[in-house]
Amino acid sequence: MPFTVRTRFDWRLHSRNLALGSRTLVMGILNATPDSFSDGGHYVNVDAGVDRALEMLDDGADLIDLGGESTKPNAIPVSAAEEQARVLPVLRAILVARPNAILSIDTYHAETARMAVEEGAEIINDVSGLLWDEKMAENCATLGCGAVLMHTRGRPQQWLNQAALPSSEVLPLVQRELEERAQAALAAGIAREAIVLDPGFGFGKVRDENYPLLAQLDELRTLGYPLLIGVSRKGFLRRTVGEMPKQSDAYQHATSAANSAAILAGAHILRVHDIRPAREAAAIADRILDASLSAMIGAHTEKGISPHTERAIIPHNEKDVKADAA
């Protein structure tokens, strides 16, 4: 049976458009935090953060997602002012070094989001799906930036004690509430073409509750939006493969397996810590999707349809300019 045929989109960012669907895009995670679950404390100063961002871009990251507050279970919330002090100097310095870099700000604070976009960020990535700050939706609409809306069940301080979800209820819950978040965004004036949805692996889905979501990920395509997937080093993967030595790359393998499954189910963007393994997994999965599409086209004897057309980043004032890959 053919794999998912991934829908093409032009994602509207703050100052340009980004083609989605012809190949998987890789978003690098940059945590300017002392307490993130995987790399907390590694990039808390500006120089370290910039060096890491440039390293990820050189490894092939298409975007960088910069965050200043951990959202691991039981994470301690920080003020918007503290978050801004962590991320804004790093954001500015990255754009000095790489003016064309596409940066996303990972925040649920509306004021942080506004300041970051005004400093050059293209995307607001809100793990609450616009729920935790009543001004966020209005800010996204006014700023005209890309908006990633994640599904979150509860808050980090509640996750360890949440009641379990039956497997059959995970996907319907995520699907229904993501649709509600998208409708709320549209009602607030956020452009449909600016919205990307994230089912929020690990965000209020405990341990094996994440597998039914991954197994039925293709069902979320019915919502009609691009999908961003973040499974990198997540606890449900680590729990499955068992605890490994800190220097082991076993979690990269587990992440790559989950990333490949997500792409084959229709994911457009991977949010990851490790760029090269993600690029490798995406290269193989994308070729499988291309072959699946070619087989489908052949079966229906449809002529003149290219299964592998890759469009370039398109500025808003040059939307008709496209570059087709060989």
Indicate which CATH number applies to the domain containing 16: 3.20.20.20
- Confidence class for position 3, pLDDT limits 50, 70, 90: confident
**Entry pTM:** 0.88
**Range(s) of the domain holding residue 301:** 9-316
Q: Is the dihedral angle over the CA atoms 11, 12, 14, 15 positive or is it negative?
A: positive
> Three-class SS string for 107-161?
CCCHHHHHHHHHHCCCEEEECCCCCCCCCHHHHHHHHCCEEEEECCCCCCCCHHH
**Which runs of E-coded beta strand occur in 160-310?**
195-198, 228-229, 269-272
pLDDT at 300: 64
Query: How many structural domains comprise the chain?
Result: 1
Average pLDDT over all residues of the chain:
87
In degrees and rounded to multiples of 5, residue 14 shows phi and psi of: -70, -40
d(C-alpha 40, C-alpha 64), whole Å: 17
- DSSP result, 63-100: EEEEESS--STTPPP--HHHHHHHHHHHHHHHHHH-TT
**Per-residue pLDDT tens over the stretch 213-240:** 999 999 999 999 999 999 999 989 988 9
Residue with the two structure tokens 């086209």: 297
**Per-residue pLDDT tens over the stretch 68-117:** 998 877 677 889 999 999 999 999 999 999 999 999 999 999 999 999 99
Q: Tokens in use for 141?
A: 């609409």
pLDDT at 293: 82
Known catalytic membership, residue 287: no
Domain assignment of residue 1, yes or no: no
Q: Please identify which of the residues 271, 279, 311, 319 carries the catalytic annotation.
A: 271
Q: Residue 304: pLDDT above 80?
A: no
Domain assignment of residue 290, yes or no: yes
Domain assignment of residue 325, yes or no: no
Q: Please identify which of the residues 6, 52, 233, 234 carries the catalytic annotation.
A: 234
Domain assignment of residue 324, yes or no: no
Q: Tokens in use for 70?
A: 């951990």
**Per-residue pLDDT tens over the stretch 236-270:** 998 898 866 555 565 889 999 999 999 999 999 99
Domain assignment of residue 321, yes or no: no
What H or E segment, with its residue span, contains residue 20? strand 16-20
Domain assignment of residue 3, yes or no: no
Domain assignment of residue 322, yes or no: no
Known catalytic membership, residue 234: yes
Q: Residue 311: pLDDT above 60?
A: no
Domain assignment of residue 282, yes or no: yes
